[in-house]
Amino acid sequence: MAKARWLALAFLAAVEVGVAEIPPRPEMLSFPPLTFEVPKAERFKVNLSQGIAAYVAEDRLLPLVTVQVYFRGGRYLEERGKEGTAQLLGTVWRTGGAGDLDPQALDETLDFLAAQLSTSVGPTYSSVSLNLLKKDLDRGLQLLFDVMLRPRFDEARLAKAKEDLIAELKRRNDDAAEIEQREWQRLVYGDDYWLNRLPTKASVEAIGRQDLQALHRRIVNPANCVVAVAGDVDRQEMVRKLKGLLDQWKVKGESVPPVPQPTHQAKPGVYLVHKADVNQGRVSLGHLGAKRPLAEEFAITVANDVLGGGGFTAWMMSRIRSDEGLAYSAYSSYNIGEYFPGTFRASFQSKSSTCARAAFLTLDLVGKLRRGEVTEQELVTSKNSFIETFPRNFESKLRTVQLYAQDDLAGRPHAYWLTYREQIRRVDRQAVKQAAEKLIKPEEFVILVVGNVDEILQGHPDFPEIQLAKLGPLTRLPLRDPLTLQPLP
Amino acid sequence: MYKRAILLLLFFGLPFPLLGQKVDVREELLPNGMRLLMVERHDTPTVSCGWVAKVGSVNESPGITGISHLFEHMMFKGTKTIGTKGYEKDRDILARQDAVRAEMEREYSKLREQLRRGEISGSIYDPENATPRLKELKAQLEKLYAEEKENIVKDELDQIYTREGASGLNAFTTEDQTVYFVTVPANKLELWFWLESDRLANPVFREFYSERDVVREERRLRVESTPLGKFEEQFNAMFWQSTPYHHPVIGWPADVESITRAQAEAYFATYYAPNNITAVLVGDFDPEKALELAKRYFGRLPRGQVAPPEVISEEVPQVAEKRFLAEAETNPEVQIRFHAVPFLHRDMYALQLAADLLSRRTGRLYKSLVEGKKVAVGEPYASFRPMKYAGYFEVGAEVKEGVEPAAVEGALLAELERLAKEPVEERELQKVKNQQLANSFRRLQSNFFLMLQLALYDSFGDWRFINEAPAKVQAVTAQDIQRVASRTFTRENRNVAIYTRKAGTAEDPELAALPAELRGMVKQQLQQLLTINDADRLGQALAQMQQMMGRVPPQMKPAFDYVLRKMEERLAQLQREKKEE
């Protein structure tokens, strides 16, 4: 009897504990299922005048509206000898006044409305964007269209933008990170590729108002245009407003030419840029990457994630940072370009004496990847991460419509998103190995080192056999004059 | 009639909610003192999760500067369960590491003495200075690191989160707080409670000594190998005198080298107790269920035995202007910083609007320095940064080629003075208020950013700031701005940093032609003289100098002439400006 009561009490206690029990390992937790359906592009899409597509989403959370107008075309269209035109257009398009408003009046009007109106001309595409309170939407849209179609390119504001750009050029060699980025692109894409035709003092000074107008005319054309809208608006009403404004736009459709592709053959080896006053070297290893569509896209994405793309979970962080304490950050990226090939690049920053060691470790890890030594668990972790974080591509209405507009811009089918998770799911260890073998080729690596070269080449006294010279022929690259980009003595 | 119109407005409301959007926050306090803030938003199936420990470098004292930041790294090293193949073995290795490390500390102590006596040079941590015993001990420690590594499951916390589809796991340390955050899929909120309560309940500070290599690389990356990093660190140290804001968040290098595990454990017990922590969730979840999970998981943390000590050091009022003249790899630049009020101070809204009035292309600095006097390039800036115990107000601009930094300094000061002297016009004030209002909505667009703001505001003293600030901003008057400006922008309260490009690169050829020993003196003299904004005063100074002409020793003559010429140029400029007004 007593025994039975004791048992009953123990049972009750166990039930109580059971309610509030914390399992000893997180793997023992169970989670309710979560399904996420990709919001279909068709739900947002409308055709406006002159074949222009728009993606419009209602988002009533806050009384704000965002309107973005994208255009194919960017820096690759710059004329030779006028490098800097795209960047200046990106600035003066907005700062130079528009329609009936001179620069100061436009600035004052927008600032009083607390509206953010910005223009940008990127490497391959350009945009005009507006974000403002919904109560000012009509006025804002009018200003957006004025800026987009009737910019004034005020001479004084152009002079100011040129002066600022030249001041920016003067900073070119101040930060080792900037030198690294510039020389990396030169090495991989070749000096003559449009990406490496950079502004100099002379080219900036040669740019006039008519150059901005000419580039603006080429880019701002209905044939190149896609619109994305999200915010506290009625969809039908928004579409009506956009149509009304676009109807005034009477231009013959003319598409921009496609982005030129690189033809350069990089010469493998170790390239060194000397910067005396830093105690940490910046190192990048890699070569040209690929352009979409790429059969191995999903396999190489997972492969790169395991190697160095996946943050703390990736091999590079784990080995170079956590194990050896040789760097604060170490990572890799396999960029698949939409318009021209991206690069495969593994990078880290390490004190001068350990740059070589960290470079050897990186190459070791690349070898390991190509030998197919990704474990099943590493594969599962990486794939799960891509699959489970996938909904974040659609985390807001604005992100969603931007994504779909950019699909149109790049010629990427919307279906890409519908099959994305399935494609990742299908990647197995064999596919990872094959993709890595095919697409990451250490024998073709250029290895770029920016820092105190003399110290870096000395290596570390405890590891005399680890020398950068063993990784390929050493080439010293000169620093370049910040204003002319000519090699400095 | 007039009154009636106002009444009507009151009845019908304004066409627009002038006071911003209220964030619907549910606040809960657990019995152990931990606070939980929750905001439901169901647009996307994720939850942005974070917690803030109300501790940062301001809570540190000399000798342990940098401990808050080092500690942040430690919180990713695992627990009794996570990150290890067996905790018992860990404990043993850690104890042996501590013993070796303690003996090393005794060796370092001897080296410090030798350094003071000039028997060695450089740093006591330089390999050249290592004693034979120290080398032995280091080798022992290396062995123990290797043994430790054998027993570690690398970055397991990150692995688990990543595998389960969480992303953005990270943390940051500031002067006032340390924030840990991650975004998890909506169905896996319990995982966050499990892992975060585990690292608060059972942390193990693995790789405590070897992690310092990573922190050293972080310092090289952020401070030592950037063009301005080391200068900004010292300008900051010059600015703050008696509060712990004086030392950098990453700590002084010598302190970071010598922090012990015992110090870290004491620090943890004091500042990472639940009563000093607030957790924040924003996203797609059920607050009832989340509260239940919070009670179960965070509820197991015992309240701290001692309350975290208050920061009692106050900044002594500055008594004289301070100047910082730096030659760096940068375009010439002027920064002027003033002591100002802390976060939540009633004057912070007026100071924020003062910064807004000066900023952007429609702001006063651009109009005056870029369009009017044409002395600056880019966009001059003004910013107000209130921290928990004190704040600062800063203006700055990049100097245009061929212009003396002093001219920029003078122009910046003139605009600050104008704020103190003249009431701002209604439309101009309304413009910056409109921007604040629109931004108060923009700030709420992202769940992650909203979570961070709640964490920060709560650690500054009150998360309600997010809902209360918009109305307080709108209530600021022109008189308020004048009042805070005249209190803040005084000469004694001023700290000026002038950056010039390091010698060897483009300098005024006339100046470069002077003998090296005179150049520094001339520059300094000029900088002083050219801060004079008043044409009459500058004219008087010039006249005085001209009287001295005859008595100047011949070897000083070129330098003297140069200074005179520059003063004349400046005077001419001031007179032109006066006429234009």
How far is residue A349's CA from residue A328's CA, in Å, rounded to a whole number?
A: 7
Structure tokens at A434: 């094959």
The H or E element that residue B511 is part of is helix B509-512
Residues A59 and A108 in one domain: yes
CB distance A381–B207 less than 8 Å? no
Residues A188 and A311 in one domain: no
Could you say which of A62, A104, A279 has the minimum Cβ distance to residue B225?
A279
Residues 6+ apart with CB under 8 A from B531: B406, B409, B410, B413
Residues 6+ apart with CB under 8 A from B3: none
Residues A164 and A298 in one domain: no
Q: Report the chain A residue with the minimal C-alpha distance to residue B328.
A: A174
Q: Report the chain B residue with the minimal C-alpha distance to residue A319.
A: B154
Residues of chain B contacting A94 with CB distance shorter than 8 Å: none
Q: Is-contact B392 B324, C-beta < 8 A?
A: no
Which 3 state secondary structure label does DSSP give A261?
A: coil
CB distance A64–B221 less than 8 Å? no
The H or E element that residue A363 is part of is helix A355-370
CB atoms within 10 A of CB A454: 11
Residues A225 and A279 in one domain: no
Residues 6+ apart with CB under 8 A from B61: B244
Residues A294 and A185 in one domain: no
Fold match flag (B50-273 vs B322-498): yes
- AA identity, residue B454: L
Beta strands in B186-302 (DSSP E): 277-283
- Check CB contact of A26 with chain B, cutoff 8 Å: yes
Residues A49 and A115 in one domain: yes
pLDDT, position B2? 33
SS (H, E, C) B138-162: HHHHHHHHHHHHHCECCCHHHHHHH
Q: Decide if A259 is inside a domain.
A: no
Residues A184 and A293 in one domain: no
Residue B301 CA: distances (Å) to CA of A29, A476, B298, B332: 20, 58, 6, 53
How far is residue B289's CA from residue A475's CA, in Å, rounded to a whole number?
A: 62
- Check CB contact of B183 with chain A, cutoff 8 Å: yes
Size of chain B, expressed as the number of residues it contains: 581
Residues A234 and A310 in one domain: no
- Shortest distance, CA A399 to any CA of chain B (angstroms): 11
Q: Decide if A135 is inside a domain.
A: yes
Last residue of a domain, one of A187, A212, A246: A246
Our CA angle for B388, B393, B397, nearest 5°, is 140
How many A×B Cβ pairs under 8 Å?
196
Beta strands in A177-310 (DSSP E): 225-231, 269-274, 280-288, 290-291
Could you say which of B82, B194, B441 has the minimum Cβ distance to residue A64?
B441
SS (H, E, C) B293-327: HHHHHHHHCCCCCCCCCCCCCCCCCCCCCEEEEEE
| Residue A289: CA count within 13 A, CB half-sphere | 28
CB distance B217–A325 less than 8 Å? yes
Which class would CATH give B322-498? alpha beta
CB distance A323–B149 less than 8 Å? yes
How far is residue B462's CA from residue B345's CA, in Å, rounded to a whole number?
A: 12
| Residue B474: CA count within 13 A, CB half-sphere | 13
**Which residues on adjacent β-strands are paired with residue A225?**
A71
CATH number at residue A313: 3.30.830.10
Structure tokens at B202: 């059972």
Residues A234 and A360 in one domain: no
Residues of chain B contacting A114 with CB distance shorter than 8 Å: 431, 434-435, 437-439
Q: How do the pLDDT tens digits run along chain A, 489 residues long?
A: 445 554 554 444 444 444 468 999 999 999 999 999 999 999 999 999 888 999 999 999 999 999 999 999 999 999 999 999 999 999 999 999 999 999 999 999 999 999 999 999 999 999 999 999 999 999 999 999 999 999 999 999 999 999 999 999 999 999 999 999 999 999 999 999 999 999 999 999 999 999 999 999 999 999 999 999 999 999 999 999 999 999 889 889 999 999 999 999 999 999 999 998 888 999 999 999 999 999 999 999 999 999 999 988 999 999 999 888 899 999 999 999 999 999 999 999 999 999 999 999 999 999 999 999 999 999 999 999 999 999 999 999 999 999 999 999 999 999 999 999 999 999 999 999 999 999 999 999 999 999 999 999 999 988 999 999 999 999 999 999 999 999 987
Q: Is-contact A389 B167, C-beta < 8 A?
A: yes
**Which residues on adjacent β-strands are paired with residue B503?**
B505
Could you say which of B21, B198, B225 has the minimum Cβ distance to residue A280?
B225
| φ, ψ (nearest 5 deg) of residue A202 | -65, -45
Best of B361, B373, B403 to substitute, by most chain A Cβ atoms within 10 angstroms, is: B361
Q: Decide if A170 is inside a domain.
A: yes
How far is residue A94's CA from residue A160's CA, in Å, rounded to a whole number?
A: 13
CB distance B297–A32 less than 8 Å? no
Q: Is-contact B260 B95, C-beta < 8 A?
A: no
pLDDT, position B514? 67
- Check CB contact of A23 with chain B, cutoff 8 Å: yes
Last residue of a domain, one of A181, A215, A246: A246
How many domains does chain A divide into? 2
Residue boundaries of the structural domains of chain B: 50-273, 322-498, 507-580
The pairing of beta strand A290-291 with beta strand A336-337: parallel
- Check CB contact of B226 with chain A, cutoff 8 Å: yes
Query: Which residue is it, tokens 């110290």?
Result: A455
Residues A104 and A240 in one domain: yes
Residues A59 and A193 in one domain: yes
Residues 6+ apart with CB under 8 A from B45: A34, A36, A391, B185, B186, B187, B284
Residues of chain A contacting B441 with CB distance shorter than 8 Å: 62-64, 133
- Check CB contact of B291 with chain A, cutoff 8 Å: no
Residues 6+ apart with CB under 8 A from B64: B255, B259, B263, B267
Residue B478 CA: distances (Å) to CA of A426, B347, B368, B482: 65, 13, 20, 6
Our CA angle for B181, B184, B187, nearest 5°, is 145
Structure tokens at B371: 């369009």
* CATH superfamily to which B50-273 belongs: Metalloenzyme, LuxS/M16 peptidase-like (3.30.830.10)
- Shortest distance, CA A150 to any CA of chain B (angstroms): 21
Which 3 state secondary structure label does DSSP give B384?
A: strand
Q: Is-contact A91 A207, C-beta < 8 A?
A: no
Last residue of a domain, one of A246, A279, A313: A246
- Shortest distance, CA A258 to any CA of chain B (angstroms): 34
Best of B128, B149, B158, B215 to substitute, by most chain A Cβ atoms within 10 angstroms, is: B158
Q: What is the DSSP letter of B241?
A: S
Residues of chain B contacting A311 with CB distance shorter than 8 Å: 158, 162, 169
Residues 6+ apart with CB under 8 A from A295: none
- Shortest distance, CA A250 to any CA of chain B (angstroms): 33
How far is residue A473's CA from residue B6's CA, in Å, rounded to a whole number?
A: 81
Q: Print the domain residue range for A444.
A: 269-477
Q: Is-contact B464 B47, C-beta < 8 A?
A: no
- Shortest distance, CA A4 to any CA of chain B (angstroms): 30
How far is residue B514's CA from residue B312's CA, in Å, rounded to a whole number?
A: 51
Residues A233 and A346 in one domain: no
Q: What is the ipTM of this complex?
A: 0.89
- Shortest distance, CA A259 to any CA of chain B (angstroms): 31
Q: How do the pLDDT tens digits run along chain B, 581 residues long?
A: 333 333 333 333 333 444 567 899 999 999 999 999 999 999 899 999 999 999 999 999 999 999 999 999 999 999 999 999 999 999 999 999 999 999 999 999 999 999 999 999 998 988 889 999 999 999 999 999 999 999 999 899 999 999 999 999 999 999 999 999 999 999 999 999 999 999 999 999 999 988 888 888 888 888 888 889 999 999 999 999 999 999 999 999 999 988 999 999 999 999 999 999 999 999 999 999 999 999 999 999 999 999 999 999 999 999 999 999 999 999 999 999 999 999 999 999 999 999 999 999 999 999 999 999 999 999 999 999 999 999 999 999 999 999 999 999 999 999 999 999 999 999 999 999 999 999 999 999 999 999 999 999 999 999 999 999 999 999 999 999 999 999 999 999 999 999 999 875 444 556 656 665 566 667 666 666 666 777 787 788 778 777 777 777 777 777 777 777 777 777 777 777 666 55
Sign of CA dihedral B221, B223, B224, B228: positive
Residues 6+ apart with CB under 8 A from B420: B482, B485, B486, B489
Which A residues 146-205 touch B at CB under 8 Å? Answer: 160, 163-164, 167, 170-171, 173-176
Q: Decide if A12 is inside a domain.
A: no
Beta strands across the sheet bearing B26-29? B26-29, B35-40, B277-283, B46-53, B178-185, B167-173
CB distance A163–B400 less than 8 Å? yes
CB distance A325–B167 less than 8 Å? no
Best of B217, B293, B398 to substitute, by most chain A Cβ atoms within 10 angstroms, is: B217
Could you say which of B164, B207, B377 has the minimum Cβ distance to residue A167?
B377
